[in-house]
Structure 1
């Protein structure tokens, strides 16, 4: 508790905004795919989701740039306003007496624009407000709060989404207003103005990102992070396919556990373990070397998933869940701290924007695992994943030993 009370005010308030955003976002976001399939069909739903991803990627990059120009606070405020308008549009088009899925999509697209604009600025403010000494604790804390929000939000969505979508969207419209007020009146600007004058133009943004990509150390770290995200994303891709096809049904307390339920159970266990033991793991690894912690964490996480690809029974998969969750708790704070330490203080927003690209790129590779599994099989995919684990560790470790260009 003392560590938390000693944190900068911005970080404390950020913990609250993260919880509120993730709580309601997790109750609606994952279920919108089902909503779109019901109204547009599977083919067009896939197209719409691709559009959302591309728009999110573009505005995430732009948000990272303008947070270095106009400031973190203003960028976050603009993002919250866009989210308010977007969710408001979606809400008014999903009333008990009127439903328009086409305008609903536009509303959610606008909300994605706002979220993507704000995210790099929020990440930059976190780094600005923390110190090298408390940064690992800060990232662990936010990660812990995020998991609590996801768990509660997923439960709310599963229970209320179908029959109370309008009410959920109403609350989603209120959350950006609350967050806007917290940022506007509670947080302080953390951007230290650079002597290099920049503008909010697209050309200025491209120049800013070219400078980031010219930082070979950070570029190497980002490439390693792309591969690390492939590991983290496996539950959404090959692990889901593997369990749905090969899991041996199991009876637990009279309830039938089949492939899809086993995946859900593993994810629930993952979240509960993080919530229950994250504090202990953070304290136990507080004095560890960051690179070694990251390497061990990625090895355990990747190894846990690779073993899961080779198993088909309930209890062995429970053990692998404990293994990859332990690795996740060790690697995530360490890698985020390393990332923050590598950023040019004058361009933290742009650096955060570049890092936002790593997850979409990782999802493309993770999706390819499902396709090539037809040729490689379970053992081949498990071996390929471990190759990526070692390459990711090598790239991230190599980046930490390169000379900073600033």
Structure 2
């Protein structure tokens, strides 16, 4: 508690906005694949998810540049406005008396663009407001809060998404308004605007990212991170589709589990484990070299998800949830540490924007997997994921062994 109270005000408020955003987002986001599959089919749904990912990729890149030009706070507010508008549109299109999945998709596309636009600014503000001494604590705290929000949100989504989507979307609109108010009236700008000389033009953004892309080590790390995204995003993509189509309904302790509810239960297991045992496991794995813990954790996580593609019954899926969660617990601290070591602190916005692009690119591949599943079987999808796992391990390990391409003396 003493460490938390000593944090910058922006960081304290950030913990609240993260919790609220994740709480509602995790109750809706993982279930939207199921929503699209029900209305459009798996093949079309895969391409729709790729459209969202492409838009998020572009928005993340431009948002990273804007956060270095307009400031962190202004960029975050613009993103919040898009999020609120998108959720409001989706809410109206899923009212009890009216449903339009086509316009719903547009609403979620807007919200995704807003989230991607704001993300680099949020990451940059966290770095600006923290120090080398407390940064590890800040990231650990945010990660813990995210998982609390995911745990509660997954439970809410599993039990209410199918029958109360309108109410969940209404909650998302309210949360978006609350977060925007916190950013507007509670947070202060952390970028020194006196040192800003670049413009917000697209060409200026291109030049900024040209400098980032000249850092070969960071580029290789981002390439590997794309495939790491493919691994941990599976609950939002192929795993969700697989459980919807293939899970054998099961009743446990009077609760009826169908595909969507099983997915939510697996996410609850994942988050409960992270909240309860992550510190204990990290005390042991902290003695490992970063590369070893990353490699072992990533392999276990990828292998666990690949095995889940082959399973259709309740208890085996419960067991494999424990496996891929163990891998996540091992690899997350090491991968975050390696990423922080590779980021040039004098270009925080651009580096953050460049890295934020790895998520939508990874989601594009994950969306393509959903479409490809129509032409292959579960074994084929498991094999594809394991290939991606090996690519992630090989490229990130190689990048971690390369020397830095910027002056470390510029760091705080």
State the TM bucket, normalised to the shorter chain.
0.7 to 0.9
How far, CA to CA, are the matches of 2:91 and 2:169 in structure 1? 5
Which structure 2 residues correspond to residues 317-336 of structure 1 after superposition, within 5 A? Answer: 317-336=317-336
How far, CA to CA, are the matches of 2:335 and 2:9 in structure 1? 24
**CA distance change for structure 1 residues 85 and 234 in 2, over 3 Å: closer, same or farther?**
closer
- Partner SS, residue 403 of structure 1: coil
Which is worse superposed, 42-51 or 52-61?
42-51
RMSD: 3.7
Asked if the contact 1:27–1:154 (Cα under 8 Å) also holds between the matched residues in 2, the reply is yes
**CA distance change for structure 1 residues 323 and 132 in 2, over 3 Å: closer, same or farther?**
farther
**CA distance change for structure 1 residues 286 and 240 in 2, over 3 Å: closer, same or farther?**
same
**CA distance change for structure 1 residues 165 and 333 in 2, over 3 Å: closer, same or farther?**
same
- Partner SS, residue 68 of structure 1: helix
Which is worse superposed, 69-78 or 344-353?
344-353
Which is worse superposed, 203-212 or 277-286?
277-286
In the comparison of the two structures, how many residue pairs are matched? 405
Which structure 2 residues correspond to residues 219-234 of structure 1 after superposition, within 5 A? Answer: 219-234=219-234
1:385 deviates by: 4.5
How far, CA to CA, are the matches of 2:389 and 2:44 in structure 1? 34
Asked if the contact 1:139–1:333 (Cα under 8 Å) also holds between the matched residues in 2, the reply is no
TM-score, normalisation: structure 1: 0.83
Q: Does 1:155 align with 2:186?
A: no
Q: Does 1:305 align with 2:294?
A: no
How far, CA to CA, are the matches of 2:241 and 2:41 in structure 1? 21
Which is worse superposed, 161-170 or 324-333?
161-170
TM-score, normalisation: structure 2: 0.82
Q: Which residue number corresponds to residue 81 of structure 2?
A: 81
Higher relative contact order (Cα pairs below 8 Å, separated by 6+ residues): 2
**CA distance change for structure 1 residues 254 and 21 in 2, over 3 Å: closer, same or farther?**
closer
1:204 deviates by: 1.0
Unaligned runs of 5+ in 2: 407-412
How far, CA to CA, are the matches of 2:242 and 2:104 in structure 1? 34
Q: Which residue number corresponds to residue 58 of structure 2?
A: 58
Q: Which residue number corresponds to residue 119 of structure 2?
A: 119
Q: Which residue number corresponds to residue 201 of structure 2?
A: 201
- Partner SS, residue 14 of structure 2: helix
Q: Which residue number corresponds to residue 410 of structure 2?
A: none
Which structure 2 residues correspond to residues 4-403 of structure 1 after superposition, within 5 A? Answer: 4-32=4-32, 48-92=48-92, 104-161=104-161, 164-192=164-192, 197-236=197-236, 239=239, 252-253=252-253, 263-286=263-286, 288-308=288-308, 315=315, 317-366=317-366, 371=372, 378=379, 385-403=385-403
How far, CA to CA, are the matches of 1:19 and 1:223 in structure 2? 29
- Partner SS, residue 83 of structure 1: helix
How far, CA to CA, are the matches of 2:68 and 2:48 in structure 1? 31
Asked if the contact 1:140–1:278 (Cα under 8 Å) also holds between the matched residues in 2, the reply is no
Asked if the contact 1:127–1:340 (Cα under 8 Å) also holds between the matched residues in 2, the reply is no
**CA distance change for structure 1 residues 199 and 98 in 2, over 3 Å: closer, same or farther?**
same
Which is worse superposed, 36-45 or 198-207?
36-45
Asked if the contact 2:34–2:240 (Cα under 8 Å) also holds between the matched residues in 1, the reply is no
Which is worse superposed, 41-50 or 292-301?
41-50
Encode CA deviations 1:340-377: one digit per residue, 9 max, x unaligned: 22112232222222222222333344456674897797
Asked if the contact 1:137–1:282 (Cα under 8 Å) also holds between the matched residues in 2, the reply is no
Which is worse superposed, 100-109 or 358-367?
100-109
Which is worse superposed, 69-78 or 259-268?
259-268
**CA distance change for structure 1 residues 221 and 302 in 2, over 3 Å: closer, same or farther?**
same
Asked if the contact 1:194–1:346 (Cα under 8 Å) also holds between the matched residues in 2, the reply is no
Asked if the contact 2:274–2:325 (Cα under 8 Å) also holds between the matched residues in 1, the reply is yes
1:62 deviates by: 0.8
Asked if the contact 1:144–1:278 (Cα under 8 Å) also holds between the matched residues in 2, the reply is no
- Partner SS, residue 70 of structure 2: coil
How far, CA to CA, are the matches of 1:221 and 1:34 in structure 2? 32
